[in-house]
Amino acid sequence: MKDKFPVFWRFLGNLSTFDCRCRNGSGGPPDCKIRECARRKGTAVCPKCDKYPCEHIESLAEHYPTLIQDGKRLQKVGLKEWIAEQERRVKRGFVYADVRYATSGSGSG
């Protein structure tokens, strides 16, 4: 993934221009509260919302310990700089999957 990360960001950038299934409600869990909220507010990324972090994000953050702080960092420095920071983190070997909390019943621990 390290050498593919710039390609990944280009992919995400291109994906944001498409009318993908997640955005139009025909993909992913149909009752996703985060997606419903973002669509209702016209927010592209949750940290751009004035209510961030809300109860939906706090619930998700129970499994992703860096989620809220990363969102606050995005608010502080802006999306372009935040992406640059993420790219530098990856070059140092950072992987979000390494910091995800295990869910109960996963057998780990």
pLDDT, tens digit (0-9, with 9 covering 90-100), for 94-109: 777 666 665 554 444 4
Computed over every residue of the chain, the mean pLDDT equals 78
Task: Classify residue 83: in a domain, yes or no.
Answer: yes
Highest averaged pLDDT of the listed ranges 8-12, 21-25, 53-57, 94-98? 53-57
In a domain, 11, yes or no: yes
Please state, in angstroms and rounded to a whole number, the distance separating the CA atoms of residues 84 and 38: 24
Q: Is residue 22 part of a domain?
A: yes
Interatomic CA distance for residues 94 and 90, integer angstroms: 5
Q: Has residue 107 been placed in a domain?
A: no
Residue 81 and residue 86: Cα distance in Å, rounded? 9
Count up the domains in the chain and report the number.
Answer: 1
Rounded Cα distance, 103 and 88, in Å: 28
Residue 73 host element (H or E): helix 67-77
Q: For 14-45, how does the pLDDT look when each residue is reduced to its tens digit (9 = 90+)?
A: 666 665 555 555 566 767 888 888 888 998 88
Q: Is residue 106 part of a domain?
A: no
User: Is 105 part of a structural domain of the chain?
Assistant: no
C-alpha span between 32 and 34 (Å, rounded): 6
- The answer to whether residue 75 sits within a structural domain is yes
Q: Which tokens is 69 given? A: 């702080």
| Residue 71 or residue 11, greater confidence | 71
Q: Please tell me whether residue 62 adopts helix, strand or coil conformation.
A: coil
Residue 6 three-state SS: helix
Residue range of the domain that includes 54 = 2-93
| 64 within a domain of the structure (yes/no) | yes
